[in-house]
Amino acid sequence: MKWFIVPIKDIRNLKITFPIPDMQEHFRAAPVHYWSHLLGHEGKGSLLSTLKIRGWCNYLVLGKCSSARGFDFFSAHVDLTEEGILHVDDIVTMTFQYINMLKNEGLVEWIFESDIAKMNFRFKEKASPSSYVIVTVRSLQNYPIEEVLSAPQLYTQWRPDLINELNNYLVPEKIRVQVVAKVEGEANADSVEPWYGTKYKKEKIPEDLIQRWSNAGTDEAFQLPEKNEFIPTNVYVDLTEEGILHVDDIVTMTFQYINMLKNEGPVEWIFEEYSDIAKMNFRFKEKSSPRSYVNVTVQSLQDYPIEEIRVQVVAKAYEANADSVEPWYGTKYKKEKISEDLIQRWSNAGTDDAFQLPEKNEFIPTKFDIKPIEKAEKFPTIIEDNPFIRTWFKQDDEFLLPKATMTFDFVSPLTYIDPISSNMTYMFVQLFRDSLNEYAYNADLAGLKWELSHSKYGLSLVIAGYDHKLDVLLNKILDRMVNFTIDDKRFAILKENYIRGLKNFEAEQPYQHAAYYLAALMSEQVWVKNELLNACSMLTADRVRQFIPLLMSKMHIECLIHGNVTKAEALKTVKNVESKLISSVKDLTPLLPKQLVLYRELELPNGCHYLYEVDNKHHKSSCTQIYYQSGMQSTESNMLLELFTQIISEPCFNILRTKEQLGYIVFSGIRRTNGVQGLRIIVQSNKHPQFVEERIDAFMESMKDYITNMSDEEFNRHKESLATQRLEKPKMLTSQSGIYWNEISMQQYNFDRANVEVAYLKTISRSQIIDFYKDVVHSESPQRHKLSIHVVSTAEGGAAAEDVTSPTPSAEETKKTLEQAEQQPARIQDILQFKTSHPLYPLVKPFNNVPRKGTQQQSKL
């Protein structure tokens, strides 16, 4: 059966599903993981790599979906390009071709080799008690008591017979294809599901297509993955615009890859490899939160039919064809039975020469020694500082695991000078990540994680994992960065994705819009979505080619190396980074200190109340966000704000959501940006924001008496609770690194912030909190700085058409309302005019006497 579903956002994806037997009893062999690993591999010759070369998809996710005891599903999710949506059947064919290639190759035992699993199990980091309980509870239901801790992560039995048994289920006759896209509009959808109103169409897969898939053969592009040099997966494919046109082709390719795997036969090294990875990850697993641990441990059983494969495609391209609407969210869709010819085509998909097995993983670490502590520094210290690069270093003396993190900020003023430069920086990052995907995939399997992102200040690179092979990955990333070339075909696909993402922001939830507009109003420099979208007309591959060397030539690097690394090793790494850039980047020039200054935050005047109102046509819900700006960060102001927020958190939720039932999303919390902070309250509701704001005002007015009448015992309980939260130690090395890096990136350097601020917290009196309330929140305060954001729904049934009236108020509330009506908020009509008419706060001074970046001795440049 084939389903066509019409989404609200402009997305395109294909889902291919096969019913498979429950393999839980064979957990030591994990036969499903063998197929997941190979079909989901992202290296050279893989199904994903071949689909990307053809321009049909952006990403693919594949693996088992547990449903209920007795059966499971094996699914592939493909994110389609614009071209890919035209080749859905071909993608299915290629999937079968890859399966055929695997079958022809035979089973490869080294793929199973369990070095990574053993390594992760051995060096597993601590988890939070609650998370550990959840995982253990689940394991108690599924594994023998003596294997409760190891079974979820270790694979110890090489069972080619079980791997081959799954071959019989990955066939076109059992497939279900689901395509989600707005390809041809809503006209072709002939059904509407009753809960969310989703339009859809379903059709039977024709016999000739089934036959085509059955006879898909193989493709020469496919090959097994190489062994993993870095050692530490339901198929989901993210489609390009082209990919949404090739849904059936993608399913075909999926079968081709499966056929390749079948032809290859079970390969024991593949099993051993992911078994080793699982053991490694289990051994060195880091702590997780108690709640997460419980959620992971407790599983819900759901019943799904298993008679046939499902293919699900999500894309705006099907909007015209959608003939159904599901009743809950109004999603349009269409479902159809997969034709017999398509089933046959997939059954005969054969293989594709482009498919191949993965190579062995070169990233699997073999050294796990804990380096001797040379000098126990409590916090990060600067070990290298020149106008080009500054290095912070902290050798781990707490977690004592063979892991480390390396964080690099490549600061450049060119990344955010105008919308086109911001767009070009974004495209460089996306193209770079895309180009390194095949190589870095093995590193990810081997427990080495990397992320390149962009911000207003430049590029940020984070590498984390087993320290033995971190430098190998870092060198590869740097080599690619200084010698980067643009693939025009991938540029066109990723640019289309970027434009689609900017446009899809309109369909995000109202509370996300409220948070976005608050940032746009308060931050010194923000290029808004429309500005970025308009600048996309100038976004070309040639312009980005010219921009990249210019971007790389003017920068300052700040980095933090933290973990199982010695000072000498850290210095060697940094010198390698510096020398590689100096030797490879033409006209490399350090930045001046004034080019390294952070952006600042808008300062609202005393006694103000501003209102910014914006429409939202996509959702029936509206959103109200109230922001009370309290001023610059300091030890005192931080703790007063945090304690006040802690005190009102529970009554805010209880009154606004539970008692008054204003909306499902009710949030109160702190907004901190560029050294300035304040309290914000967000309510997403079907009611008009004006009414919701009145209820928020009434709630905030009641807080004075609430705090005044609070017992000493309860007040002290809030202080103790906040102190406990702040003093809770990070469970993972990466979390501690994140805390250090936040202080460095914000240029405040208060590495002992938790202890310093909790010491002050213990001295705070109730009268201080009441004074804070009177100054920052109370409606009669001459120092109050209030900004309201109203996101008003103009959709059918939305709040824009409402008569904004409140329930009958009390006499006291009526008096308050009349008093407040005399002081109507000043409406913000133009964001730029508003921002240019207000001053900016200064930046917070560093907590420690750390010199300004870029002012040290001259570098070798």
Q: List pLDDT tens digits, range 551-587.
A: 999 999 999 999 999 999 999 999 999 999 999 998 8
> Do 581 and 612 have their domain in common?
no
Q: Which of 8, 172, 191, 39 is nearest to 101 (CA)?
A: 39
Cα separation of 775 and 772, whole Å? 5
Domain co-membership, 390 together with 319: no
**CB neighbours of 244 closer than 8 A, spacing ≥ 6?**
12, 80, 81, 82, 83, 84, 85, 86, 88, 179, 181, 183, 313, 315, 317
Other C-beta atoms lying within 10 Å of the C-beta of residue 328: 11
One domain for residues 568 and 651: no
Q: What is the mean pLDDT of residues 361-387?
A: 90
Q: Give the pLDDT of residue 473.
A: 94
Look at residue 142 and tell me if it is in a domain. Answer: no
- Domain of residue 613, CATH code: 3.30.830.10
Q: With pLDDT > 70 as the criterion, what percentage of the chain qualifies?
A: 90
Q: Among 539, 572, 595, where does a domain finish?
A: 595
Residues 6+ apart with CB under 8 A from 476: 436, 439, 440
Measured in whole angstroms, the distance separating CA 699 from the mean position of its chain's CA atoms is 34
**Is residue 141 included in any domain, yes or no?**
no
Q: How confident is the model at residue 838 (pLDDT cuts 50, 70, 90)?
A: very high
Query: Is 559 in the same domain as 645?
Result: no
Residue 54 lies in a domain: yes
**Contact 415/425 with Cβ under 8 angstroms?**
yes
Q: Read off the pLDDT of each residue in 51-57 and give the average, rounded to a whole number.
A: 90
pLDDT of residue 305: 32
The pLDDT value recorded for residue 520 is 97
Taking only the tens place, the pLDDT of each residue in 15-31 is 999 998 888 888 888 88
* Structure confidence by residue, pLDDT tens digits, 307-356: 356 778 887 777 888 888 887 767 888 888 888 888 888 888 888 888 88
User: Which of 224, 240, 278 is closest to 108 using CA atoms?
Assistant: 224
- Whether residue 359 lies inside any domain: the answer is no
Tell whether 408 is covered by a domain: yes
Residue percentage of the chain with pLDDT more than 90: 50
Mean pLDDT of the chain: 86
Helices (H), 173-297: 207-212, 247-264, 268-283, 290-297
Q: 247-264 and 31-39 are packed helices; what angle lies between their axes, rounded to 10 degrees?
A: 130
pLDDT number for residue 600: 97
> Structural domain of residue 635, as residue ranges?
608-836
Same domain, 582 and 665: no
Residue-level pLDDT at 783: 95
DSSP 658: I
Domains contained in the chain, number: 3
Residue 500 and residue 577 in one domain: yes
Q: Are 622 and 536 contained in the same domain?
A: no
DSSP assignment string, 750-785: -TTHHHHHHHHHTT--HHHHHHHHHHHT-TT-TT-E
- The yes-or-no verdict on residue 858 having pLDDT over 60 is no
Q: Which two tokens stand for residue 76?
A: 């592939």
* Confidence bin at 238 (pLDDT 50/70/90): low
Spatial CA neighbour of 2 closest among 339, 278, 243? 339
- In this prediction, residue 253 carries a pLDDT of 80
| Shared domain check, 798 and 667 | yes
Q: Are 684 and 623 in contact (CB under 8 A)?
A: yes
Query: Residues 576, 511: one domain?
Result: yes
Structural domain contains residue 340: yes
Which tokens hold the place of 325?
């609407």
pLDDT higher than threshold 80 for residue 142: no
Angle subtended by helix axes 470-482 and 419-435, to nearest 10: 130
Give the model's pLDDT for residue 713: 95
Report whether pLDDT(726) > 70. Answer: yes
Say whether pLDDT at 306 is over 50: no
Rg over alpha carbons for the chain, rounded to the nearest Å, is 29
Instruction: Clarify whether residues 517 and 617 are in a common domain.
Output: no
Q: For position 392, what pLDDT does the model report?
A: 98
Res 230: pLDDT: 55
Which is more confidently placed, 185 or 439? 439
Q: Assess if residue 782 is contained within a domain.
A: yes
Same domain as 619, residue 577: no
H/E stretch holding 636 reads: helix 635-653
Query: In the structure encoding, which two tokens stand for residue 522, read together?
Result: 């308060």
> Pairing between strand 57-68 and 350-356?
unpaired
pLDDT of residue 236: 52
Contact present, 451 and 734 (Cβ < 8 Å) = no
pLDDT of residue 502: 96
pLDDT at residue 292 tops 80:
no
Count of C-beta atoms within a 10 Å radius of residue 707? 19
Q: Which of 205-209, 291-295, 476-480, 538-542 has the lowest mean pLDDT?
A: 291-295
Q: State the virtual CA torsion across 218, 220, 221, 227 in degrees, nearest 10.
A: 90
Q: Which residue is listed with tokens 């390149």?
A: 452
Residue 300 backbone dihedrals phi, psi, to 5 degrees: -100, 135
For residue 115, the model assigns a pLDDT of 66
Does the predicted model carry a pTM greater than 0.85? no
Residue type, 624: T
pLDDT value for 309: 64
pLDDT of residue 804: 59
CB 651 within 8 A of CB 540: no
The residue-averaged pLDDT of 606-633 equals 96
Do 612 and 576 sit in the same domain of this protein?
no
Which of 9-23, 54-68, 189-203, 211-225 is most confident? Answer: 9-23
pLDDT confidence of residue 111: 74
> What band does 191 get if pLDDT is binned at 50, 70 and 90?
confident
> In the prediction, which pLDDT does 307 show?
36
Largest CA distance in the chain: 83
Q: Give the 3-state secondary structure percentages of the chain, helix then strand then coil, rounded to 5.
A: 45, 25, 35
Six token digits for residue 860 = 């070798």
860 in a domain, yes or no? no
